[in-house]
Amino acid sequence: MSAVAWTAAGSLTAWLWLLWGQGFFWRTDVRLPPRGEPARWPSVCVVVPARDEADMLPRSLPTLLAQDYPGRAEVFLVDDGSSDGTGELARALAERHGGLPLTVGSPGEPPQGWTGKLWAVRHGIGLARAREPEYLLLTDADIAHAPDSLRELVAAAEAGGFDLVSQMARLRVRSPWERLVVPAFVYFFAQLYPFRRIGRKGARTTAAAGGCVLLRADAAERARIPDAIRHAVIDDVALARAVRRSGGHLWLGLAERVDSVRPYPRLADLWRMVSRSAYAQLRHNPLLLVGTVAGLAVVYLAPPVCLVAGLVTGSVPAAAAGGLAWLVMAGTYLPMLRYYGQPLWLAPLLPATAFLYLLMTVDSAVQHYRGRGAAWKGRTYARPDTAAEPAPERH
């Protein structure tokens, strides 16, 4: 067989393995596990780090304040050095809408060795500790919750004995670029971290979705959250790993009524979202970068290329294997498109979307080696190899 045919066969083999051997990552039926009414509703403190979120808060904060929760609950919003009046707006929204008590704090600039969001989370958890909560809900300022969201999260954690329950918020999908890129973002995440595996005790696969994380307060203390992950750019996965290392039981699934209200109307907006942390996901390892680029090329780009090449050259094996691999790929993408309510004809375009992600990953590495680090909300975080080592913990 020709090299094209062998490449097509390799891609088809990879897709058959992904279809059956990667935790059925492509299925979208992993939702909150069975739950009932606990005998006693534990107390909860909600911690919301917010930096320049005045545009998002009117659509997100009122949904937290309006939580229909039978137990004691309180919201702590941490204004992380905003320049757009985020803290003042939060107080005004609380006065206007009422609901759960709101405390607005400000931590000041993060010290060296801390990412800004985690420094804000640390401040929020410090404020919450005075209330001695049994659970902490860590949620982003762009996340809108259904009125029973907190109730359902706590009920699931109590029923399943989970130390961490996280939901992947449904991202906004309205603009053409959002339709092309956003469902694939969640699809790729699930491929890396199959949700079904995360819920098993002692599983090696570990992740969380940072927009919605319910965490037992004692589990947070055991795992030294957030101090143990203070340098992390991908804080949600780092948080989950720290909880797992401390013996915690985790669950992660897709949300039903937890939504991100942040728009990404342009490709540039989505590019920044992905590229800011893509190389960090690869631990800034050049070999992992090369392997990732090669893997994306063989798994996602080779099927349509081999199909076309096989048809042009008359190579039946190349065309058949490439076409079948492309068909399997598109088939695994259909459930995610249905979850997002998108037209199914987008499924065959997944190779084009994967090519965009390949370019974003390479760009993330280029920015890293130019010394720019990960940038977000006007902050640039130092490269890990140039940042000072944080001071040791006192015991």
pLDDT at 324 over 50: yes
Tens of pLDDT, residues 177-209: 999 999 999 999 999 999 999 999 888 999 999
| pLDDT, averaged across the chain | 93
The kind and range of the H/E element at 392 are none
Residues 305-313, mean pLDDT to the nearest whole number: 97
Tens of pLDDT, residues 173-184: 999 999 999 999
Confidence tier at 83 by pLDDT (50, 70, 90): very high
pLDDT for position 115: 86
pLDDT at 310 over 90: yes
The contacts found for 379-385 with CB under 8 angstroms, 24 or more apart, are 379/116, 381/115, 381/233, 383/284, 384/231, 384/284, 385/284
pLDDT at 391 over 60: no
Query: CB count, 10 Å around CB of 167?
Result: 28
Regarding pTM above 0.95, the answer is no
Task: Please tell me the distance from the alpha carbon of residue 361 to that of residue 355, in angstroms, as a whole number.
Answer: 10
pLDDT for position 218: 98
* Percentage of the chain lying above the pLDDT 90 cut: 87
pLDDT for position 302: 98
pLDDT at 387 over 50: no
Tens of pLDDT, residues 331-359: 999 999 999 999 999 999 999 999 999 99
Residues 6+ apart with CB under 8 A from 18: 25, 26, 191, 299, 332
Give the CA distances from residue 172 to residues 2, 185, 292, 344, in Å, rounded to whole numbers and listed in that order.
44, 12, 27, 17
The kind and range of the H/E element at 46 are strand 44-50
Tens of pLDDT, residues 10-59: 999 999 999 999 999 999 999 999 899 999 999 999 999 999 999 999 99
In the block, residue with structure tokens 């609950």: 73
pLDDT for position 233: 86
Confidence tier at 379 by pLDDT (50, 70, 90): low
Tens of pLDDT, residues 94-110: 999 999 999 999 998 88
What sign does the dihedral 88-90-94-100 (CA atoms) show? negative
